[in-house]
Amino acid sequence: MAIKTLHITNHYHPASGGIRIFYQALLEAADQYQREVRLVVPGAKDSMERVGAYGRIYTIAAPKCPVFDPRYRLLLPHLYALPYPSALRRILQQEQPDLVEVCDKFALSCLPSVLRRNWVKRVSPAVFVGMSCERLDDNVSAYISTGSLARNLANWYLKNMYATRFDCHISNSDYTAKELVQALANRSEIQVHVRPMGVHCGDFCAARRGPSAREAILARISVAARSAANPRLLMYAGRLSPEKNIEVLVEMMEILAADPSVEYHLLLAGDGPRSSWLKKIADEKLPGRIHLLGHIAKREDLADLYANCDALVHPNPREPFGIAPLEAMASGLPVVAPCSGGVLSYANAGNAWLVKPTGADFAAGIREVFADDAARSAKIELALRTAANFDWPQVAAVFFNLYDELYRCYGLRKFPRQLQRARMLTPAMGEDPKSVAWRCPDAPIEAQNCEPAKYGCEQTE
């Protein structure tokens, strides 16, 4: 039987982005791979939702975030640190997870320390993993200060208060992992493993492009009656928040709107704390050219939008990974993105238009997209191939295999009495069963065996 994993995060609400998509993809894949997956998130009230035969989402009533973005709620430390029968304590006692993954750098980051000290009774030992889907220093720069003092404080916090609480860490890109690697420079036993996110290639695909779908989009933004024979539809998908560098898109549209020969429109699929500001600026400076569509809840509706626009613009130069550009690639949509950040995990000069994160450079990038039909078709073809390598079912399998490997190596060191449980682990797909006890989490899934001295593993025979 496979191990049971429990994932807990505050970065989750019904309209949230990449982290919610990631955990939903794991839950959707749980039945396929027969994995027990549990997700714990904050919400308006306590509830439990079954996802297939193997997945469950536990929602715990929690207060709204008082700053930054009130759409989020916060599971606070009292739920696990104080000795009372809280909903979180009951879930841990009921589920008895083998591996606990925490995707939160503040309110939930002390959970591993509390469980190691056995402050929550009747919970079996587990492997504790920190999941990083964004960089702390970037968030501090976006929401608090860009000064060196704030950045140094963020680095100090990572090194002294966060990173060492976990047995190991997973990051969604090399870019995201970099600050953790630096924070753990003197703790080589705490490894950082990079595993990228994915895309639903079956839903996001170029086959959705068609005249009727495009006409529906034009009608929605009231462009059908305009004189432009073929307006160019640019698209952004994601949160409208400070760290996303949304200002660049306004600057880009001001430059493009000055060209009377082509009619450009920008469609924004998403919501967030900067929505009101953006609407005000759009109405003042670019009336009828910037269209706020709000959050698009249905995956198929978002997929239709991708497939029937003309280009995606993604302005954040510090994107941790960027699922939206990958979804655009899978949809056959040209991607204009910065030449930095986590998008470089999959975007390059061969499959995307990479530019500096300024309005002028993004405008130039958009013009380049439409300047050469042959070059555009070649890049789109390479982008489709790239996206196919990140299909969520195979990405989920990579994560499940990594969780198993982390349990084998770190778990056998921490609680050797559970060796018998490790013997029951099912081999990874295509794996020789004889190698199960020695697989190394520090290398890619298909890589070499681990070093027992490095992780303190006990060989199981």
Domains and CATH numbers, the chain: 4-194 (3.40.50.2000), 206-388 (3.40.50.2000), 392-455 (no CATH)
Average pLDDT on 199-217 reads 96
Q: What is the DSSP letter of 270?
A: B
Please report the pLDDT score of residue 141 as a whole number: 92
In this predicted model, what pLDDT tens digit does every residue of 61-119 receive, in sequence order?
Answer: 999 998 888 899 999 999 999 999 999 999 999 999 999 999 999 999 999 999 999 99
In this predicted model, what pLDDT tens digit does every residue of 403-451 receive, in sequence order?
Answer: 999 999 988 777 765 544 444 444 444 444 333 333 333 333 333 334 4
Average pLDDT on 233-239 reads 97
Average pLDDT on 271-285 reads 93
In this prediction the pTM is 0.89
CA distance 442 to 420: 23
Residue 307's SS3 state is helix
**Helices 299-308 and 211-220, axial angle in degrees (round to 10):** 100
Please report the pLDDT score of residue 343 as a whole number: 98
Q: Which residues of 425-443 are buried (b: 16+ CB within 10 A; e: fewer)?
A: bbebeeeeeeebbbbbbbe
Residue 442, token pair as written in the block: 């520090």
CA distance 348 to 339: 8
92: exposed, middle or buried (C-beta count within 10 Å: 0-12, 13-18, 19+)? buried
Q: What is the DSSP letter of 326?
A: H
Residue 343, token pair as written in the block: 């998008």
Among the listed residues 372, 360, 362, the one whose alpha carbon sits nearest the alpha carbon of residue 339: 362
CA atoms within 13 Å, Cβ hemisphere of 403: 27
